[in-house]
Chain A
């Protein structure tokens, strides 16, 4: 990865090379951003907070998918099914075993990891497009399972979930639940950024870049591919559980193939193999339909609106924009928003001299 640092790379120790934040400024910027986010519930309305929460749990799931697709080079078209499994698992644990919700979320993550490993074991033997097709099948099989397993998912009626609760503090409103999601986002993102600095993280990247060389370096391919599937499922499960306790209702139909594709879109648009890119991609994907809605509202009542039936077909417009965004990014910016962001940062840093 080219770091886009100005005029050469002055790193002289491994410690410097492995740092998460390349400059002191970027570390302060992250702290400042977190502080601003902590103040957000005081300023923003419930709707905007809802969007931020949605970005949060989507970003966690997208990060998991990015570890699988971007860092390990394994494709999965069934991520939403694992996301959904996490959502149902958390609701089911709370209702059947009466475990407090705060504990249910990580436990749901672990349960999803177990399921992901089951699908990951055969997947570890496949690669590339064969894996893509296998996970596509997994998506349909799991969707069918959701509709059938009434004891687990509530069947077609869906399942009602309880709000998050910790030591008597109930997070049943956007203002309070926002902090729960924020805490999880920070933990999961720091976890992923650190994972990539360990032996295991580098092994995953090696498997992606050249699996034969990786194997010759003593990396167990099947082990790391399964591990990557497990980690991705864990992130999906946590994201799904957070989703379940935010909406307080989980429906069987929510986790369809389009949702899976949205996760892939987040990873592609954010940037394959970029931790922060997952967050940017999730934000883009969540805000894109909002932008479409705003554009349609702005045109409402006009001649264009009447001719194209914008108001009635807004959901199709959203899908079209999602598809178009994925294609446009692939053709014009294959490295995603993460690269664009690095370019912008480098531009301002070097201004007015471009080298």
Chain B
């Protein structure tokens, strides 16, 4: 056993897992607020990262300016998607809503490939120092920053939902739409807002991953990796989503380690979370923190 490698992989897993957690959190946000399972979550990352890349390279904006413009754009983007595509589908069966988000996913993935090409493109360098030494482990500066941003976003969510007026309105809507409406909360506004926040938060994750690995359509796979995380944590639990993301991140790195050391099957990094997903659905479909109202027949 190579302990230092295992430790390094665990750290990588936690860092990537924190990003999964952020994406999973924004996924759960949409699900809680509007009962929509968003299969296009990965495309939020993709669109956000490409827009930021475009602003930084073609327009030569400094990073902070490009980043802020990206966030503003994603706010509009999420809102428009909700109003134009998802709002007419309120009250339709689950399959229609799922298919609509899948359709959105294909559409934007292909659109991004069309505009920006299929090859991964690197961000211009943002930090003067590439790597730092942390307790004997080599860590990229961006990774550290991404961990910081993830924690910041999670803290922001906690504040938003426990203190702010809009956050409380959202929780009320998630709890009972009719009661929320009778208290003067505009449910359509809450829906649009939840999509906007979700798009913004996901795009932050997208930009971070883009800075580390370069921007390519591989980013949208984060939207698929979100499912093991949210199912593990419970579909409607924000804390569960964060924890699920961290566990999935560590799990895939450990699976890769076990695979490289003993099994030699290859590809376990990608597939292991899906085996875990099936297992969880069979044993504990409401996850670690989810509401136990899933009927099993």
Contact = CB atoms under 8 A, between A and B. Distances in A.
Contacts of B228: 137
Contacts of A141: 271, 274-275, 278
Contacts of B109: 319
Interface in B256-297: 265-267, 270-271, 274-275, 277-278, 281-282, 285, 294-297
Contacts of A126: 281, 285, 296
B282 A330 contact: no
B297 A127 contact: yes
Contact of A261 (B102, B113, B295): B102
Given A133-B277, A317-B110, A323-B110, A330 B271 contact: no
B278 A137 contact: yes
Given A130-B281, A137-B227, A331 B85 contact: yes
Contacts of A345: none
A320 B107 contact: yes
Contacts of A45: none
A134 B281 contact: yes
Contacts of A77: 102
A313 B37 contact: no
A283 interface: no
Contacts of B7: none
A322 B111 CA distance: 12
Contacts of B106: 258, 261, 319-320, 322-323, 326
B88 interface: yes
Nearest to A225: B297
A129 interface: yes
A319 B227 CA distance: 23
Contacts of B89: 330-331
B37 A129 contact: yes
A69 B94 CA distance: 11
Contact of A324 (B37, B103, B278): B103
Contacts of B267: 144, 147-148
A122 interface: yes
B107 A323 contact: yes
Interface string B1-25: 0000000000000000000000000
Contact of B99 (A124, A127, A309, A326): A326
B297 A130 contact: no
Contacts of A242: none
Q: For chain B, give the interface size range.
A: 35 or more
A136 B224 contact: yes
Contacts of A264: 99, 102
Given A136-B227, A264-B102, A326-B102, A122 B110 contact: no
Nearest to B285: A130
Contacts of B105: 323
Given A272-B95, A324-B103, A132 B37 contact: yes
B238 interface: no
A327 B270 contact: no
B16 to A, nearest CB: 18
A222 B114 CA distance: 45
Nearest to B98: A132
Nearest to B286: A130
Most buried by B among A69, A225, A334: A334
Interface in A320-345: 320, 322-327, 330-331, 334
B231 interface: yes
A148 B224 CA distance: 21
Nearest to B86: A331
B56 interface: no
A265 B271 CA distance: 26
B294 A130 contact: yes
A346 interface: no
Contacts of A232: none
A279 interface: no
Contact of A140 (B103, B104, B231, B270): B270
A326 B114 CA distance: 19
Interface in A89-142: 122, 124-130, 132-134, 136-138, 140-141
A205 interface: no
A221 interface: yes
Interface in A63-80: 69, 73, 75, 77
A319 B113 CA distance: 10
A316 interface: yes
10 contacts: A73-B93, A129-B98, A130-B285, A144-B267, A221-B297, A264-B102, A316-B111, A322-B106, A323-B107, A327-B107
Interface of A: 69, 73, 75, 77, 122, 124-130, 132-134, 136-138, 140-141, 144, 147-148, 211, 215, 221-222, 225, 258, 261, 264-265, 268, 272, 309, 313, 316-320, 322-327, 330-331, 334
4 closest residue pairs by CB, A with B: A323-B107, A323-B106, A326-B103, A319-B110
